[in-house]
Amino acid sequence: MSHKYISTPAYQLVEEFRSDPQKIHDYVDAIYDRIERVEPKVRAYITIRSRDEVHKDVDMLIKSGNYEGPLFGILVAVKDNISTRGIRTTCASKMLENYVPPYDATVIRRLKSAGAIVLGKTNMDEFAMGSTTETSAFYPTRNPWDLSRVPGGSSGGSAAALVAGEATLALGSDTGGSIRNPAAFTATFGLKPTYGLVSRYGLIAYASSMDQIGPLARNTRDLALLLSVIAGYDEHDATSLPVVVPNFVKLLDEYVHREQRLRIAIVKELFERSDISVQSVAGKALDRLCSIHECDEIELRYTKHIVAAYYIIAMAEASSNLARYDGIRYGLKVEVENRSWIDVYTEVRTRGFGYEVKKRIALGAFVLSAGYRDMYYIKALRFRRMLKEMFNEIFKRFDLVASPTMPILPPKLGELVADPIKMYLADINTVIANLIGIPAISVPVGFYNGLPVGLQFMAPPLAEDKLLYVSQQLEDMLKLRDLIAEVS
């Protein structure tokens, strides 16, 4: 794999394309040649646009004469739960297997306005419910570093496409770690923004109070560049924050120039609960970071309740959001003539949803049912508020909170699906940011026996600039940037 376009950062490609726009065609061919070689092994995509179609988009982009877009000519892989006009959007489910949206999500409109081109739609856990990209109704995605292992989930296809050299940038969504988990398992950079910073308009809902679209990249600067493009207020999203979005690339440069010293809290419990392999790699990287920042260990109370509260709330919201898939308004179409609504509804949901989705809908309906709502759902909401207040106090003393992104190394295919409790518990480090709406990032910090390890940082709301700053520092220290797996 020697072609320069495969691993070149987006920010460098944009400058090259502005000086000679025809080079975009060479870049497109390089990426498609790479896809033809590795995609049969990795299976990162559900839908890939044709090479000819993308070349036509490039011609139109060049003809427009607008070369100043921050993502001019860049190919972006998009998770398959984000609506793309005219491109199939399945949520990796039989329920939406043939759904082609009539509109673009707000983030897609912003990508196109910035000069980016959508390359294809990436595989995911069905309706974003899973941590391994194995609950997809079509096929599992494999980790490019080790094809016998998972790439994480639910945005596993987006992360795998990046590290396999099948795209330059990618979008994912994060409800309980679905960007950061695959970023950690693939040695890529993934950021879950503050809730409301990036519009959810056009994102197919899982758990609306926690869903958030975010960027994935192979270096920090590209991550900041993509975040700057997709962030910002959107009147189509009632939860969108009316804030002025800074230029995160410029902010990043300012932080690096100032060499600002931060206060970092290290969560003792989240390190101790991680495998020794993860502790050793993440700990060494953190030691290097703590040589230039002020670090202190903290204890986080009630950690054993975090995963339970998250899944109660997520499943309750999923059961409500997915009630719309009845085969009449939305979802799989079946024969309805001379049949009762109950028969049609039952067939649609039996055939359309996979096992994991059905399980979460059933559990969600249970925790919202009469007699159990107060016992489970209301109690989980109270815990969520208490967790938020706890972190408000932590952020009065610290700028960032650090932990391993995932407490385990990338598992073998089938390992976590066979043990759902183990799969759910693996989310303990990542679900906190979603429960309380704060931003969080996963940064690659090393390998253990050839398998990637990620370090996570959480920050107060709208402090993405600090997350990008420590990410850049670690990247400069460890030189783990623009990595591409050979895929053998």
Q: Kindly give, in sequence order, each residue whose CB lies less than 8 Å from that of residue 275, ignoring residues fewer than 6 positions away.
A: 407, 408, 409
Record the tokens describing residue 79, joined without a space: 């998770």
Give the span between the Cα atoms of 261 and 132, in whole angstroms. 36
What is the residue type of 292?
I
Q: Which residues pair with 146 in a beta bridge?
A: 143
Question: Any idea which residue has 């989240």 for tokens?
Answer: 270
Neighbours of 116 (CB within 10 A): 29
Q: 35 exposed, middle or buried (CB, 10 Å; 0-12, 13-18, 19+)? A: buried
SS (H, E, C) the chain: CCCHHHHCCHHHHHHHHHHCCCHHHHHHHHHHHHHHHHHHHHCCEEEECCHHHHHHHHHHHHHHCCCCCCCCCCEEEEECCECECCECCCCCCHHHCCCCCCCCCHHHHHHHHCCCEEEEEECCCHHHCCCCCCCCCCCCCCECCECCECCCCCCHHHHHHHHCCCCCEEEEECCCCCCHHHHHHHCCEEEECCCCCECCCCECCCCCCCCCEEEEECCHHHHHHHHHHHECCCCCCCCCCCCCCCCHHHHHHHHHHHCCCCEEEEEHHHHHCCCHHHHHHHHHHHHHHHCCCEEEEECCCCHHHHHHHHHHHHHHHHHHHHHHCCCCCCCCCCCCCCCCHHHHHHHHHHHHCCHHHHHHHHHHHHHHCCCCHHHHHHHHHHHHHHHHHHHHHHHHHCCEEEEECCCCCCCECCCCCCCHHHHHHCCCCCHHHHHHCCCEEEEEEEEECCEEEEEEEECCCCCHHHHHHHHHHHHHHHCCCCCCCCCC
Residues marked as catalytic: 79, 154, 178
Handedness of CA 4, 474, 304, 430 (dihedral sign): negative
Q: Which residues pair with 149 in a beta bridge?
A: 412
